[in-house]
Amino acid sequence: MTDTIFALATPPGRGAIAVLRLSGPAVEQTLTALGATRLKPRMASVRDLAHDGVRIDQALVLRFVAPHSYTGEDCAELHLHGGRAVVEAASQALIALGVRPAEPGEFTRRAFQNGRMDLAQAEAVADLIDAETTAQARQALGQLDGRLSETYAGFRRDLLHALALVEAEIDFPDEDVPDNLARTAGPVLDRLAEDLRRAVETGRRGERVRDGYRIVLIGETNAGKSSLFNALVAREAAIVTPIAGTTRDVLDADLIIGGYAVTLSDTAGLRDSDDPIEAEGVRRARARAEQADLRLWVRAPGDPDGVAADYVRPGDLVVANKADLEGAVPNRGLEVLTVSTRSGEGMSRLHDWLAARLARDLSGADFPAVTRERHRLRLTEALAAVEAGRKALDIAPEMAGDDLRRAAAALSRVTGEVGVEDILGEVFSSFCIGK
Ligand SMILES: Nc1nc2c(ncn2[C@@H]2O[C@H](COP(=O)(O)OP(=O)(O)O)[C@@H](O)[C@H]2O)c(=O)[nH]1
Ligand SMILES: [Mg+2]
């Protein structure tokens, strides 16, 4: 039998109120033991809570009766005065009454297991709690509404439709099985493959919104990368000196530009070095530049073209720094913005440029985007199976059924309809306690 759990649902520490949340079969009897009786479901009531004759608090109590609750079980919320001693006393009383402190994510896990939400929605709960930008929150809300799950369900419907066509043909074979199938199931699979491909692509965008868009500063030593890094993060995070080769490690900072989460990285100047520490820094700088969503090539007047030229891609930006000094900066066909981190000239234009780029790459009318690598891997798997099934239609239709079933299984794993146990740990381990 499931046990009854509780957790503090508000942040620990002193506050106006603290909410203790309970879920499980013993909720009603626990409330009664604490003196909270005659509670109407979903109605807030003020009750004096006490245990063993000792008063705990005058609290607002809410009761939810299964299955009409977050977890689908009997639930309650105790809205206590938000002092540490009150919360402590209430927690001790609950433990004494046999109610167990919840594990991280245990409430949402129960909600999933009781069919109140699917896995993609459970992940959205975690994302919404962790959201620090409006874009992250908007994306998570869309996913919580079930829009992402609906997209996956649509894929599965198309797949099962194609599978039914394939099986019907094979069960009642005549000469023209491959021809008939190419006519009936073929277009369905072609369309599905196209949709899956598009979903995998939105996955890159969704993950960037969720985890941060990666911008890397690269360039020659002394171009002013670290100065620019400090200016953008608005603090002296990186060491700036006139000595070439000052920066060795990759420095990361999280910031928000135009409502989007960004991870900005400062790197070592790209040059050959005999110093093994600097050489390792250069190697890391290159690796970072390759993975980034955008590279800012920081250049000062007189900088040689150097190796950075090998790392920039179309769409990257040249930031021509040291506008206060004389000299031209060649642009190598890229867009150029002129700034001076010393005088501040051009910095607001750079900021606007970055905000516009983020909006271009990350906003999408076709939310919901796929938000996690876990989803993207499964979708990619489903896509490969659909493509294999499509090929099999023409040559060996009896094989196509297996491919399509494999694709359906991959999709089901995303929302947690099959193969659940091995992914539950992964999904719920990142939750905070009380959710
Ligand atoms: N004149 C001028 N010097 C700058 C400007 N930005 C940075 N510097 C100087 O350039 C040198 C190298 O800067 P740094 O940020 O460490 O460059 P990095 O090696 O690319 O990280 C330092 O002495 C900075 O003070 C600028 O806009 N104008
Ligand atoms: Mg530096």
Output the pTM of the full model: 0.79
State the pLDDT confidence band at 415, using cuts at 50, 70 and 90: confident
Measure 150 CA to ligand 1 centroid, in angstroms: 52
Average model confidence (pLDDT) for the chain?
90
How would CATH label the architecture of 214-362?
A: 3-Layer(aba) Sandwich (3.40)
- Provide the pLDDT for residue 25: 97
Ligand 2 centroid to Cα of residue 260, in Å, is: 25
CA 248 – ligand 2 centroid, Å: 8
Tell whether ligand 1 has an atom less than 6 A from the beta carbon of residue 7: no
| Nearest CA owner, ligand 1 atom 11 | 242
Q: What is the mean pLDDT of residues 351-357?
A: 96
pLDDT for 324 equals 92
Atom 12, ligand 1: residue with shortest CA distance: 222
**Residue 345: band (very low, low, confident or very high) from pLDDT cuts 50, 70, 90:** very high
> Helix/strand/coil (H, E, C) string of 216-285?
EEEECCCCCHHHHHHHHHCCCCCCCCCCCCCCCCCEEEEEEECCEEEEEEECCCCCCCCCHHHHHHHHHH
Distance 126 CA to ligand 2 centre (A): 36
Architecture of the structural domain at 121-209+372-428: Up-down Bundle (1.20)
The answer, yes or no, to whether residue 420 has pLDDT greater than 80, is no
Please list the residues that pair with 48 across neighbouring strands. 58
**The pLDDT of residue 280:** 93
Q: Which ligand is nearest to the CA of 268?
A: 2
Residue 43: partners with Cβ closer than 8 Å, 6 or more residues away: 62
Query: What's the distance, Cα to Cα, between the start and end of the chain in Å?
Result: 21
Nearest CA to ligand 1 atom 7: 224
Give the pLDDT score at 204: 83
% of the chain residues with pLDDT over 90: 62
CATH domain 5-102 topology: Gyrase A; domain 2 (3.30.1360)
255-296 pLDDT, tens digit per residue, is 999 999 999 999 999 988 889 999 999 999 999 999 999 999
Closest CA to 357 of 294, 271, 314: 294
Q: Whose CA is nearest to atom 9 of ligand 1?
A: 224
**pLDDT band per the 50, 70, 90 thresholds, residue 372:** confident
Region 360-379 average pLDDT: 81
Query: Which of the pair, 363 or 191, is modelled with greater confidence?
Result: 191
Q: How much is the pLDDT for 173? A: 60
Which range of 16-20, 136-140, 149-153 scores highest in mean pLDDT? It is 16-20
Q: Residue 421 pLDDT more than 70?
A: no
Residue nearest (by alpha carbon) to ligand 1 atom 28:
322
Q: Counting atoms of ligand 1 from 1, which one is nearest the CA of 242? A: 23
> How much is the pLDDT for 273?
86
- What is the number of the ligand 1 atom nearest to the C-alpha of 247? 21
Q: Which ligand is nearest to the CA of 232?
A: 1
Long-range contacts of the stretch 323-326 (C-beta < 8 A, 24+):
325/300, 325/301, 326/301
The ligand with the least distance to the CA atom of 347 is 1
150-191 confidence digits (pLDDT tens): 888 899 889 888 888 888 777 666 666 667 777 788 999 999
- Report which bound ligand comes closest to the CA of 230: 1
Ligand 1 site, residue 338, Cβ cutoff 6 A: no
Characterize 338-362 residue by residue with b for buried, 16 or more Cβ atoms within 10 angstroms of its Cβ, and e for exposed: ebbbeeeebbeebeebbeebbeebb
CA-CA distance, 238 to 194, in Å (whole number)? 45
Q: Ligand 2 centre from 232 Cα, in Å?
A: 14
> Is the CB of residue 281 below 6 angstroms from any atom belonging to ligand 1?
no
Nearest CA to ligand 1 atom 22: 242
The answer, yes or no, to whether any atom of ligand 1 lies below 6 A from the CB of 248, is no
- Mean pLDDT to the nearest integer, 323-329: 87
**CB of 121 sitting under 6 A from ligand 1:** no
Burial of 311 (0-12, 13-18, 19+ CB in 10 A): buried
Higher pLDDT, 97 or 202: 97
Which residue lies with its CA nearest to atom 14 of ligand 1? 224
Atom of ligand 1 nearest to the CA of 345: 27
Confidence check: pLDDT of 322 > 90: yes
The ligand 1 atom nearest the CA atom of 246: 19
Cα–ligand 2 centroid distance for 286 (angstroms) = 14
Domain definitions of the chain by residue range: 5-102, 121-209+372-428, 214-362
Q: How far is the CA of 38 from the centre of ligand 1 (A)?
A: 71
- pLDDT tens string 381-406: 999 999 999 998 888 878 888 999 99
Instruction: Give the pLDDT confidence score for residue 118 in this predicted structure.
Output: 92
Output the pLDDT for position 419. 55
Going by pLDDT thresholds of 50, 70 and 90, the confidence category of residue 57 is very high
The pLDDT > 70 percentage for the chain reads 94
Could you give phi then psi for residue 311, rounded to 5 degrees?
-105, -20
Q: Find out whether the beta carbon of 322 lies less than 6 Å from any atom of ligand 1.
A: yes
Question: Tell me: the pLDDT tens digits for 111-126?
Answer: 999 999 999 999 999 9
pLDDT at residue 175 in the model: 62
Question: If you measure from the C-alpha of residue 181 to the centroid of ligand 1, how many angstroms do you get, rounded to a whole number?
Answer: 66
Any atom of ligand 1 within 6 Å of the Cβ of 321: yes
Q: Is 224 in the pocket of ligand 1 (CB under 6 A)?
A: yes
Could you give phi then psi for residue 116, rounded to 5 degrees?
A: -80, -25
Query: What is the distance in A from the centroid of ligand 2 to the CA of 435?
Result: 42
Ligand 1 centre to CA of 76 (Å) is: 59
